[in-house]
């Protein structure tokens, strides 16, 4: 018998929270995964397997994308570029407005964080409708950088987010129908 441990099943660390943030929604809560060192480490290692070569930066989407982005940055010694909601970045920013189901939101990035020729990977915890990541892709491209891949821990396939970002390779560790 070998001394290797069985692989961590990341699904065991995703908890369903019914009717959050509003009735009819089943929220996929990743906090149990974050709280378990072995599961969090496994998620970073598995995401890192999908980072193409010659990447200049990891782009983390506020806020849970920062957690996975920081782990991936440390794992590969790659810089981390945050994409934030308005008013959170201290230097000169470039922003983009994007539509939500009921309204408009905005994302911002430091103007000097990326430039033409940079290749990046975008990371977030969850791919749902794809609106936020689509806006992030467009924001990164407006600075002249190339998006080599988008990485997610969880994907909600029924919401069609992957189709909104079909021009970029997408990898998710867990997919729910």
Determine whether 64 is an active site residue: yes
Q: What angle do CA 14, 17, 22 make, to 5 degrees?
A: 135
15 is catalytic: no
- Determine contact, residues 81/121, Cβ cutoff 8 Å: no
Count of CA atoms in the C-beta half-sphere (13 A) of 123: 29
Using alpha carbons, list the distances in angstroms from residue 169 to 85, 112, 121, 149, 151.
Answer: 25, 25, 10, 5, 9
Name the residue among 77, 50, 39 with its Cα closest to residue 148: 50
Place of tokens 């990046």: 120
Catalytic site residue from 64, 111, 119, 164? 64
Taking alpha carbons only, the member of 147, 84, 155 closest to residue 121 is 147
Angle of CA points 170, 160, 125, to nearest 5°? 50
**Residues acting as catalytic residues:** 64, 101
């Amino acid at each position: 018998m070998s001394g290797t441990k069985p692989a961590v099943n990341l699904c065991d660390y995703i908890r369903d929270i019914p009717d959050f943030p509003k009735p009819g929604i089943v929220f996929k809560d990743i906090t149990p995964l974050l709280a378990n060192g072995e599961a969090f480490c496994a998620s970073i290692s598995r995401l890192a397997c999908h980072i193409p070569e010659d990447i200049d930066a990891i782009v983390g989407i506020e806020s849970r994308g920062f957690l996975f982005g920081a782990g991936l940055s440390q794992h590969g010694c790659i810089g981390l570029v945050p994409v934030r909601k308005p008013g959170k970045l201290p230097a000169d920013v470039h922003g983009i407005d994007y539509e939500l189901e009921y309204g408009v939101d905005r994302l911002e990035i430091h103007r000097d964080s990326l430039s033409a020729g940079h290749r990046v990977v975008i990371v977030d915890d969850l791919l749902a409708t794809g609106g936020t990541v689509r806006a992030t892709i467009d924001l990164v491209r407006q600075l002249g950088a190339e998006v080599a891949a988008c990485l997610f821990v969880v994907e909600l396939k029924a919401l069609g987010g992957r189709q909104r970002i079909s021009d970029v390779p997408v990898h998710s560790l867990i997919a729910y129908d």
